[in-house]
Amino acid sequence: MKRHVVAAMAVAGLVTSLPVSAQPAGDPVRTLVLLAQPQAALPQEYQAAELIAAAWRQLGLQVQIRPLPSQQFSQIVWYERQRWDTTTWQMVGRPERSDPDELTYNLFLSANIANGYNFVGYNNPEYDRLANAQREELDVAKRKQLMIQAQELVNRDQPYGFMVHPKNVVAFNKNVWDEKSIVDQAGIGARNTWTWLSIAPLGAQRDIILNSVSTPTNLNPFNISGAQGSWAAEITWDRLMRIGTDGLPQPWSAEAVTRPDPLTVDVKLRAGMKWSDGRPITIEDAVFSLVAPGIGDKSPMYKPFVANIASVTATGTDTLRITLKKPDAAFLVSSLAKLNLAPKHVWEPIFQSLQGKPETAESVMESTPVSSGPFRMVKAKLNEEIVLEANRDHWAAPKAARWIMRIQPNTEAALGALRSGEINFLADYNGDPQILRDIAKADPKIKIAEALDMGFKFIAYNHRRPPFNSTPFRQALSASIDRELLAEDAWGGAAVPSNSWVSPALTFWHDQGIEKRVPGGNVEAAKKILKDAGFVLVNGRLHYPAGVKETTAPFQ
């Protein structure tokens, strides 16, 4: 019998219930609510949630999948951190994540629990030590060993239920775009900033029209938007450095970047740059962009990326010096290629106006954003579409006229739009890859590109809410997840099993074979972990260990 059939039987309640235990038991574990985005928007993740919920039910848990619209989903998970139990989530492959430091330092560091990227609340001093040590180690071989140790520690503690590293499957109309102008970026694929800059029209249609299945979050230079929002942000706001197609940092708005010693970074600004309001970009703007995220608590997303900066000083009309507190092996990648240039004359007053208020800079949306990137924002109706136009004064001016992202939450509707020509670049596809392959086979104008992503999909466990604060409980949940089944059935083969935040696409840093070092899909092993930790089955329902009360309010 195929594994997905067994899983379906479990969902239908056809799997034989587990025997009653005579062991003393605590309270029954409450019904756990697994949050997810709607099936029409993210069918792969929703199917994965169904398969995982089925496995957890075999452990004696009552699990309810609760789909939420994308904006409500993000609001609850990110900003209402005490409220939810567990959720589907993803960390997308961004260029600056080609060095694993960004995720290593931010995802699990205890300092980032309150409002940073450690939204699950994982707290392990040994992990904190390793995350800091790898950042300060300039010897690449030694740093790699620290990265391997960190991955093994997370494998032991299972703060997440890792699912898969997806393959980015995109498609474009090769009658509109010269397929030779499409650029492949390591760990990302064809949907990247270099493609948006170099993609060349073959005829009169000069607008890149792409889709998004999710509504982007707020767009500004101090907000790290989700996957789809980041596609727009990366080409609207410049950075001192960018990640090249080879995964290495290269100067961008900086003409040159040098490191005279481990604690010093010297930057020379590119000449002649202007903001979209016509004002020149000055060295004071560059200094402000590096300093502002670290002042107070008004830029919590970006603050970790400047935490190691001791000072930033203008050393000339077009040069500055950054002094670090400690050596930082990944600083050029995870900070200089991450932080956006922001106009001081616009954002300094905004930061000042936010003092003493609960709002952060992340929530501010300019009516007409002032930026310096190769595209400029014309319209941003986040529930409908984002329209950018080419900045012809930019030193890397794009060949396309406009970049238009249309919000189409339904995956089937996006496929129809590609076939009809309503969009000419299918950038966001989460459906069965074979369907897309069949469409391309039948329609010669459609070209597909696939690449393994450096990002990953996972189930987030909220450590603030028992029983997720129990390491054995998390280990058992993770042990029951059949990652090969998820990659095969939910992602249609367009993914590989995951048990680390470091993708196999990053071959040097990935802990080879770590996906095999968790007993994935092994419900019996999961049951033993729970039993050894004192959890008890009573009439097929999982109870806490003896004497433990259920004190956590259910998700409403």
**What is the per-residue pLDDT across 140-195, written as a single tens digit (0 to 9) for each?**
999 999 999 999 999 999 999 999 999 999 999 999 999 999 999 989 999 999 99
pLDDT in the model for residue 431: 84
pLDDT in the model for residue 458: 98
Half-sphere exposure (Cβ direction) of 221: Cα atoms closer than 13 Å: 30
Task: Look up residue 152 and give its two tokens.
Answer: 């093994």
CATH architecture of the domain with range 169-236+372-449: 3-Layer(aba) Sandwich (3.40)
**Model confidence over 104-134: pLDDT tens digits?**
999 999 999 998 999 999 999 999 999 999 9
Q: Taking 80 as the threshold, does the pLDDT of residue 15 lie above it? A: no
Domain with CATH 3.90.76.10 in the chain: 249-351
**Model confidence over 269-322: pLDDT tens digits?**
999 999 999 999 999 999 999 999 999 999 999 999 999 999 999 999 999 999
Give the torsion sign (CA, 224, 227, 230, 232): negative
pLDDT level of residue 526 (50, 70, 90 thresholds): very high
How far apart are alpha carbons 226 and 400 in whole angstroms?
24
CB 189 within 8 A of CB 168: yes
Domain with CATH 3.40.190.10 in the chain: 169-236+372-449
How far apart are alpha carbons 108 and 266 in whole angstroms?
30
pLDDT level of residue 22 (50, 70, 90 thresholds): low
Angle between helices 471-479 and 523-532 (to 10 degrees): 170
pLDDT level of residue 32 (50, 70, 90 thresholds): very high
Scored b (16 or more CB within 10 A) or e, 301-316 reads bbbbbbbbbeebeeee
Q: Taking 50 as the threshold, does the pLDDT of residue 5 lie above it? A: no
Name the amino acid, one letter, at 382: L
How far apart are alpha carbons 390 and 36 in whole angstroms?
36
Q: Long-range contacts: 464-471, Cβ < 8 Å, 24+?
A: 464/81, 464/82, 464/121, 465/82, 465/84, 465/85, 465/552, 466/544, 466/550, 466/551, 466/552, 467/29, 467/535, 467/544, 468/85, 468/86, 470/533, 471/157, 471/158
pLDDT in the model for residue 246: 87
pLDDT in the model for residue 250: 95
Q: Select from 254, 257, 274 the least CA-distant residue to 265.
A: 257
**Model confidence over 201-229: pLDDT tens digits?**
999 999 999 999 888 888 999 998 888 89
CATH assignment of 249-351, among 3.30.1300.10, 2.40.160.40, 3.90.76.10, 3.50.50.60: 3.90.76.10
Going along 174-294, which residue ranges are E strands?
207-212, 241-243, 249-251, 254-261, 264-269
pTM of the model: 0.78
pLDDT level of residue 248 (50, 70, 90 thresholds): confident
